[in-house]
């Protein structure tokens, strides 16, 4: 049960965001309002208000940033994407909630039939969706996509891309302090500060020690965050002046060591592969690799639905290297198969929320399957329509950027776009295994889409207000050009 500090933090975050906008450049204020809320606000704690979605560590920063940009700054907010495909996907993502709710109005009953007695005894039920739920789900979908639309306008410039990488690096370095404490003494930060533990404690024990979680939903989330931070540090080290580069390289190595201490095999593998690529590879190669990741992330669920993924062969190969990981992977595949059978009963629009898409015992309603990957959660809840909208919107920026790079082989690219694209690409890949979609993922996707729109000569040029730093709340704020060190 969250303590009063948890709810006080949620209530105070809009004021923290306002201070950031009053004292920092708009790019830095946006990034730290979203990323800071994700890192510092309590998980699971929320305000349940009537007819609107729960207000928590995701929705409160999103609402705060949008409200401040519209009502408390001199910026003219233009959220609508330039491209038709992006516009269609945004509309689908938001309004897919309507057919999903309308096709899930019946309750799901769990009943017991005693011997030959024709009387059914009602044990429990999952309620059906009502017309009133449409508004709540619509608002929830709108709030989800807010970081994407804001980043498309405000973070697609060189300054915005750099601020995102800098925030990842600085945030992970600061986060390493409580994380190292948890690695040594066990994950207790959320208990000490907010009065409760947010997950299963058993899942924090790994390899004879602990993996940290701090204020995030799970240790896997923290490990992926550290992995992307190490990639960001490598990108910044690459463009730092030669005199200071050794310091940036040391920070990169420190974050790699921190990643190893997080004890998450997938994120460690990502980091060991991608950090050297970010530091040494040409930008064009990074963009093409990120595009490949996006293609795999989008097509895998489709192939999985058609039973074209050789899951048994994959598990057997993994077992040759690590039998324990093979057992875990086999369990995931088995869960996916059961959840896909459940989703196949309502393939177009899904089962909606409240756990209706899960496989349960027919008599007592006990949950028999646990969804891990984000894709299977979306597919079960919103069907093909919701899956195409969400994963299409996240992958589209990388596909457009990859197409641009292929068409324009000698195009000059930002020194930061390759790393940002790879961070988005590897997150999409991880979402096949885990539900690691965060507001910062939407920020990176929006920033990449905005960058592609700037490159596309057919798109309208970026408005001046998105490039300059107008006064905020009546005060002039100079652009920050401080060293990354």
Average confidence (pLDDT) over 181-204 = 88
Q: What is the pLDDT of residues 302-330, one digit of tens each?
A: 888 888 888 888 888 888 877 877 887 88
The closest of 130, 394, 159, 429 to 293, measured between CA atoms, is: 429
Q: Could you tell me if residue 264 is inside a domain? A: yes
Long-range pairs for 467-474: beta carbons < 8 A, 24 or more residues apart = 467/157, 469/25, 469/26, 470/73, 470/74, 470/75, 471/74, 472/21, 472/22, 472/26, 472/29, 472/72, 472/73, 472/74, 473/18, 473/21, 473/22, 473/72, 473/73
Q: What is the pLDDT of residues 240-294, one digit of tens each?
A: 887 788 888 999 999 999 999 999 988 999 999 999 999 999 999 999 999 999 9
pLDDT above 90 coverage of the chain, percent? 53
Q: Could you tell me if residue 31 is inside a domain? A: no
Which residue is listed with tokens 């309502």? 346
Q: What is the pLDDT of residues 423-459, one digit of tens each?
A: 999 999 999 988 899 999 999 999 999 999 998 755 4
Rama region for 48: left / alpha / beta (φ>0; ψ in -120 to 50; rest): beta
Q: Would you tell me the crossing angle of helices 311-321 and 323-343 to the nearest 10 degrees? A: 160
pLDDT band at 355 (very low <50, low <70, confident <90, very high): confident
Q: Could you tell me if residue 441 is inside a domain? A: yes
Lowest mean pLDDT among 96-100, 235-239, 305-309: 305-309
Q: Could you tell me if residue 25 is inside a domain? A: no
Average confidence (pLDDT) over 101-129 = 65
Distances (CA, A) of 228 to 102, 172, 225, 387, 391: 39, 9, 5, 24, 20
Q: Could you tell me if residue 225 is inside a domain? A: yes
Average confidence (pLDDT) over 212-227 = 94
**Among the ranges 32-41, 359-368, 465-474, which has the highest mean pLDDT value?**
32-41
- Of residues 390 and 463, the one with the higher pLDDT is 390
Q: What is the pLDDT of residues 39-59, one digit of tens each?
A: 999 998 888 877 778 899 999
Name the residue range of residue 412's domain.
80-466
Tokens of 391: 């994963």
Total domains in the fold of the chain:
1
The closest of 164, 232, 144 to 25, measured between CA atoms, is: 164
Average confidence (pLDDT) over 348-377 = 79
**What is the per-residue pLDDT for 110?**
63
Q: Could you tell me if residue 35 is inside a domain? A: no
Tokens of 181: 């404490």
Q: Could you tell me if residue 366 is inside a domain? A: yes
Give the DSSP H/E element, type plus range, for residue 126: strand 120-126
Q: Could you tell me if residue 94 is inside a domain? A: yes
Q: What mean pLDDT, rounded, does the chain reach?
A: 86
**What is the per-residue pLDDT for 256?**
96
**What is the per-residue pLDDT for 447?**
97
């Amino acid at each position: 049960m969250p303590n009063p500090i948890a709810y006080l933090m949620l209530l105070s975050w809009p004021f923290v965001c306002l201070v950031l906008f009053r004292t920092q450049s708009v790019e830095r204020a946006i990034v730290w309002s979203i990323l800071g809320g994700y890192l510092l606000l309590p998980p699971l704690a929320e305000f349940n208000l009537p007819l609107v979605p729960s207000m928590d560590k995701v929705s409160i920063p999103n609402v705060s940033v949008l409200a401040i940009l519209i009502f408390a700054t001199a910026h003219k907010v233009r959220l609508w994407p330039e491209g038709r495909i992006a516009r269609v996907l945004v509309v689908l993502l938001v309004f897919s909630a309507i057919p999903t709710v309308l096709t899930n109005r019946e309750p799901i009953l769990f009943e017991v039939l005693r011997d030959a007695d024709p009387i059914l005894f009602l044990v429990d039920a999952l309620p059906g969706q009502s017309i009133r739920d449409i508004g709540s789900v619509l608002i929830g979908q709108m709030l989800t996509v807010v970081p994407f639309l804001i980043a498309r306008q405000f973070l697609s410039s060189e300054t915005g891309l750099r601020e995102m990488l800098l925030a990842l690096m600085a945030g992970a370095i600061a986060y390493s302090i409580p994380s190292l404490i948890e690695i040594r003494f066990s994950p207790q930060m959320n208990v000490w500060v907010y009065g409760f533990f947010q997950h299963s404690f058993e899942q924090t024990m790994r390899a004879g020690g602990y993996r940290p979680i701090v204020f995030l939903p799970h240790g896997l989330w923290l490990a992926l965050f550290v992995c992307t931070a190490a990639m960001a540090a490598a990108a910044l080290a690459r463009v730092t002046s030669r005199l200071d580069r050794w310091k940036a390289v040391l920070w990169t190595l420190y974050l790699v060591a921190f990643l190893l201490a997080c004890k998450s095999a997938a994120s460690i593998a990502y980091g060991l592969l991608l950090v050297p690529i970010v530091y040494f590879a040409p930008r064009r190669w990074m963009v093409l690799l990120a595009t490949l990741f996006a293609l795999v992330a989008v097509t895998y669920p489709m192939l999985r639905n058609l039973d074209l993924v050789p899951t048994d062969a994959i598990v057997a190969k993994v077992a040759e290297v690590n039998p324990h990981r093979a057992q875990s992977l086999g369990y995931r595949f088995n869960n996916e198969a059961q959840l896909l059978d459940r989703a196949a009963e309502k393939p177009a629009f899904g089962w909606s929320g409240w756990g209706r898409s899960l496989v349960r015992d027919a008599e007592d309603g006990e949950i028999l399957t646990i969804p891990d990957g984000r894709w299977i959660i979306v597919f079960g809840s919103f069907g093909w329509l919701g899956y195409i909208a969400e994963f299409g919107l996240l992958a589209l920026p990388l596909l457009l950027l990859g197409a641009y790079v292929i068409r324009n082989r000698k195009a000059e690219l930002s020194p930061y776009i390759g790393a940002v694209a790879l961070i988005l690409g590897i997150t999409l890949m991880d979402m096949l295994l885990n539900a690691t979609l965060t507001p910062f993922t939407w920020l990176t996707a929006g920033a990449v889409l905005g960058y592609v729109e700037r490159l596309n000569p057919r798109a309208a040029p970026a408005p001046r207000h998105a490039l300059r730093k107008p006064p905020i709340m009546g005060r002039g704020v100079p652009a920050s050009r401080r060293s990354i060190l």
